Chain A
Amino acid sequence: MPTWTAERVESLAPDAPSISAARSVASPRLWSSAGHDDRAVWGQCRGYLAAVDLVDTAFSCNCPSRKIPCKHALGLLLLWSSWPEAVPPTPSPPWVDDWLAVRAKRAARAPVATLPVDPEARARRVAGRVARIGAGLEELDLWLRDLVRQGLASAQSRPFSYWDDVAARMVDAQAPGAGSQVRRMAGIVRSGDGWPGRLLVQAGRLHLLAQAWLRFDDLPPALQADLRTVAGWSWTGEEVLAGATPVRDHWQVVGKAVVEEERFRIQRTWLLGATNGRSALILDFTAPSAAAPAGPTVGTEVDADLAFFPGSWPQRALISTVHDEAGSIGAWHGSATFEEALAVHATALAANPWLDRLPMVVSDVEPVERDNGWWARDSTGAVVRLRLEDDGWWMLVAVSGGRPVGLAGEWQDGVLRPLSVWADRRSVPLP
């Protein structure tokens, strides 16, 4: 049975036209000698041989298209998901075997991280980086003090390089996270009404980081982890898996946001535990030209173990083991009111003051339009402002039909960015 849903396949497409093109070839009559086994799925479409490595998700096709995956590879997967009988389980043909063998050989040649674990050397490396970041943050703190000495008003006339130079120095000091927080300040200055207050908070948070780093070695491990996270000193997957106790639940995929950064694309996938009520964030980084990472599909829930990254309010996680494949979300576990959701946020901020983006999942809210803005109102009449594009807003209104719906999204700076809406026992991702 195909384990790939059409939506998952579409999420692999390099662009929207590829999806339509793939649909146009995903028809049994266009394919011959198609089949699959545990490793791969393959077939022939109008003279082109297409195959997909199901284990490592790789694509092969001899068509002239430069897109990866091309419409034939995508079409093959779509065909498999819609007409399983057209892609029966059969022994793989020689050309598929050859391709997989070449891939396996190449993978074997790739360098494998097999550094011997030497605890002392490792401790020296860690201490070295703590010191380098500390030096960078001391410099940052001096710069922040200079900023408030001259007054935030002076920031308005600064060129972008004023911020960017400091941000670049943070990257040099191996604290890229602090660097992007500085770049964010440049955006705050131009963000309209109330910017001085927001800029002061942001400067204060960075000051807090620099101050806390001075005492890094004396802090409890969870707080150290929080500081590492803000500074942008991350953990490898192996480190996370080694250090975390897996948390098993039926994780519901309640939202997905994609942001294009300068050199890469970040995909944030938010999960909510159906039983434990915990939220988790899966981050995927890809090159802007590459296919979006597959990842779990919004509206599904998967029985899986998550390994959380360390911290006082663990949020980012990895899926370590999938116990059962994804089905549709069965029931919505949102907070009854915004008040209730914000109480959770307050607890989170008390644990980790640097959290600036938190998930929010609520039930029974209605989209309302007022003061030329878009809002959501809960059953108590409390409203929060929504940040949406025009098409997202109208999709939300259409799905709600003027009745209360469930809403999931990201809460940042007092504004909710909805990522999915729950109505008629179905979750719909919002653009």
Chain B
Amino acid sequence: MSWDELVAGALVGTARRAPVEPTAEGALGEVLSGLDPADPEGTLLAAGAVLGLYRQAGRRLSVHAVPLQEPSPTEGRHSCSEAAADRLHSILNGPFRAVLGEWLALLATVDRLVPPDRLPGLLDAATANPRLRASTVAVGGERGRWLAGRNPRWAWAGGGSTPDTTHPDSIRAWATGSAASRRLLLARMRASDPGAARELLESTWATETPEDRAAFVAVLTTRLSMDDEPFLEGALDDRRKEVRQAAAQLLWRLPESRLGQRMAERSEPLVRTSTLPDQVDPAMVRDGVVVKPPVGQGERAWWFLQLVAATPLRTWGDPAALVTKADLLLRQAWAAAAARQRDEAWALALLGAGGVDEPALLGAVPHDRAVALALDRISSAGLTPAVLDLLDHCPVPWGPELSGAVVDRLGTAVKRQGRPDAEAVALRAKMADLAARLDPSVTVRTTAELAECTGWWSDVVSWFCDLLAFRADMGEELRP
């Protein structure tokens, strides 16, 4: 009698079907023969126990004969320390998730990898936040790529290790990948070989969807050069407005472009004669000029602003001599141009002349000058909303001096009694950004300075201090 028959009998019940007497060979048979046939329920239960145990103890495993899988390639770099790996775990599972980008960047600077057991958590985090994907791929190593290739959810991080346009993996990924993984592939390729990346894009340009075309043009921001100009000039005639706009915005950054020359021809007479344009023609629209002004701005001033901002700055001459004589509208336009064209001389002249509200200019000056300028503004104006805006554009690292100045001002602000004013509200809203960018060396000072804060500040200050301390420890674990 087989096991299946025994179970079938048990399902129906002894009341309806008398159980077949269980028999077997050998020692098992001996045990079963000891059961009492006069007691059908007891026999059934005992046989169930005995045969079940027999089957359990003698379990045979099935054999899986599929050839071995391709293992992950050997890793060239070392994993980070256990303390750093634990830090990643607490970033992913704690309140300070926002510092993940900084942690990944620090890890890349010391040329270490995320240990394999932490990869799934990191890949999930970067799946949810595409801005972290490139840095995740950088510190995931061979194991990260191998692992991502096995889980469709992480497909964006899979694929070949060196993005090479001639590599079959790249060609396949470009031809068949998802929109997100293609964008990442193009971005990685653009970073290593800008020309090859653009050529790859051109090879399939005609068949891309409008959404993809606009996104791919934006990827060309990385390592943009005059080599891209012919392609971008062509994209100005795209059927889709978003694509045209994206192409124009990149060309505004290239003073040598044909678009730049056309803009110079348009704006030079206007500036020379101090007049505003009285119309926008289709050629201007093709070059990215937007007809409708933002709320609160006159349309002619708006057009003027756009034309001058897209004009190569060398059209005008020596900035030191010019900016002091220019009116505010012209200065604004030049400031926008200097930020886009990353023109250091113009940026410094405009920042020195004052009156220009263009925080993006900080991006056009050397890092130490930007930090010095921000420090200067804090000393003269304090942490006003405008200065906070400027700090938004001040590149990290801020260094101990600027960070210390921010903390001193914060210390004053958080002790101020009475009803919080608009400035305090704006500052409180910026605390998270500040805590993420201040140099962690000011942690001790911060704790001392902010200890006496008023009740309205206390929860945000405590969180602020915790985050700074967290970042300080994080930096110590990943010191080069």
- Which one of B44, B52, B470 lies within 8 Å of A23 (CB-CB)? B470
- Which one of B46, B52, B71 lies within 8 Å of A402 (CB-CB)? B71
Bound complex: CA A111 to CA B370 (Å)? 71
Q: Are A339's CB and B61's CB within 8 A?
A: yes
Bound complex: CA A339 to CA B473 (Å)? 48
Q: Are A204's CB and B47's CB within 8 A?
A: yes
B274 in the interface (beta carbon within 8 A): no
Bound complex: CA A12 to CA B146 (Å)? 35
A276 in the interface (beta carbon within 8 A): no
B44 to chain A minimum Cβ distance, whole angstroms, is 5
Q: Are A145's CB and B10's CB within 8 A?
A: no
A213 to chain B minimum Cβ distance, whole angstroms, is 14
Q: Are A24's CB and B469's CB within 8 A?
A: yes
Taking A82-B83, A350-B57 as contacts, is the C-beta distance between A17 and B94 under 8 angstroms?
yes
- Which one of B10, B42, B47 lies within 8 Å of A196 (CB-CB)? B10
Q: Are A394's CB and B151's CB within 8 A?
A: yes
- Which one of B12, B45, B56, B93 lies within 8 Å of A203 (CB-CB)? B45
A211 in the interface (beta carbon within 8 A): yes
B422 in the interface (beta carbon within 8 A): no
Q: Are A19's CB and B94's CB within 8 A?
A: yes
Q: Which chain B residues (62-112) contact chain A, with CB distance < 8 Å?
A: 62-66, 68-72, 83, 86-87, 90, 93-96
B405 to chain A minimum Cβ distance, whole angstroms, is 20
Q: Are A20's CB and B120's CB within 8 A?
A: no
Q: Are A353's CB and B49's CB within 8 A?
A: yes
- Please name all residues of chain B whose beta carbon is closer than 8 Å to the beta carbon of A148 when the two chains form the complex: 10, 13-14, 41, 44-45
B327 in the interface (beta carbon within 8 A): no
Q: Are B59's CB and A342's CB within 8 A?
A: yes
Chain B interface SS verdict (over half) = helix
A241 in the interface (beta carbon within 8 A): no
Q: Are B71's CB and A428's CB within 8 A?
A: no
A237 in the interface (beta carbon within 8 A): no
- Which one of B120, B143, B451 lies within 8 Å of A394 (CB-CB)? B120
A377 in the interface (beta carbon within 8 A): yes
- Please name all residues of chain B whose beta carbon is closer than 8 Å to the beta carbon of A345 when the two chains form the complex: 57
- Please name all residues of chain B whose beta carbon is closer than 8 Å to the beta carbon of A17 when the two chains form the complex: 93-95
The residue of chain B having its C-beta at the shortest distance from the C-beta of A146 within the complex is B41
A247 in the interface (beta carbon within 8 A): no
- Per-position 1/0 for A142-161, Cβ under 8 A of B: 00110011111110000000
B419 in the interface (beta carbon within 8 A): no
A181 to chain B minimum Cβ distance, whole angstroms, is 13
Bound complex: CA A394 to CA B15 (Å)? 50
B6 in the interface (beta carbon within 8 A): yes
Q: Are B63's CB and A149's CB within 8 A?
A: no
Q: Are A197's CB and B150's CB within 8 A?
A: no
B459 in the interface (beta carbon within 8 A): no
B69 to chain A minimum Cβ distance, whole angstroms, is 5
- Which one of A149, A196, A402 lies within 8 Å of B72 (CB-CB)? A402
B475 to chain A minimum Cβ distance, whole angstroms, is 11
Q: Are A368's CB and B64's CB within 8 A?
A: yes
- Which one of B59, B96, B146 lies within 8 Å of A401 (CB-CB)? B146
Q: Are B48's CB and A382's CB within 8 A?
A: no
Q: Are A149's CB and B15's CB within 8 A?
A: yes
Q: Are B12's CB and A383's CB within 8 A?
A: no
Q: Are B14's CB and A149's CB within 8 A?
A: yes
The residue of chain B having its C-beta at the shortest distance from the C-beta of A20 within the complex is B94
Bound complex: CA A200 to CA B4 (Å)? 11
Bound complex: CA A207 to CA B86 (Å)? 50
B135 in the interface (beta carbon within 8 A): no
- Per-position 1/0 for B320-346, Cβ under 8 A of A: 000000000000000000000000000
Interface stretch, picked from A25-33, A117-125, A286-294, A303-311, is: A25-33
The residue of chain B having its C-beta at the shortest distance from the C-beta of A345 within the complex is B57
Bound complex: CA A148 to CA B57 (Å)? 24
Q: Are A25's CB and B466's CB within 8 A?
A: yes
B3 in the interface (beta carbon within 8 A): yes
Q: Are A204's CB and B444's CB within 8 A?
A: no
Taking A20-B93, A29-B444 as contacts, is the C-beta distance between A201 and B48 under 8 angstroms?
yes
Q: Are B59's CB and A24's CB within 8 A?
A: no
A251 in the interface (beta carbon within 8 A): no
Q: Which chain A residues (13-42) contact chain B, with CB distance < 8 Å?
A: 16-17, 19-21, 23-27, 29-30
Q: Are B52's CB and A201's CB within 8 A?
A: yes
- Which one of A152, A338, A342, A349 lies within 8 Å of B53 (CB-CB)? A349
B236 in the interface (beta carbon within 8 A): no
Interface centre among B7, B46, B72, B447 (most CB of A within 10 A): B7
Q: Are B120's CB and A391's CB within 8 A?
A: yes
B378 in the interface (beta carbon within 8 A): no
Taking A29-B443, A150-B15, A382-B61 as contacts, is the C-beta distance between A398 and B469 under 8 angstroms?
no
A/B interface sample: 15 pairs, CB < 8 A: A17-B95, A26-B473, A29-B469, A149-B13, A149-B14, A200-B10, A200-B44, A200-B45, A203-B45, A204-B45, A204-B47, A207-B45, A382-B62, A402-B146, A428-B117
**Chain A positions near chain B (C-beta within 8 angstroms):** 6, 16-17, 19-21, 23-27, 29-30, 46, 82, 144-145, 148-154, 196-197, 200-201, 203-205, 207-208, 211, 338-339, 342, 345-346, 349-350, 353, 366, 368, 370, 375, 377, 380-384, 391, 394-395, 397-399, 401-403, 414, 423, 428
Instruction: Give me the 3 closest cross-chain CB pairs, A-B, nearest first.
Output: A20-B94, A151-B13, A204-B49
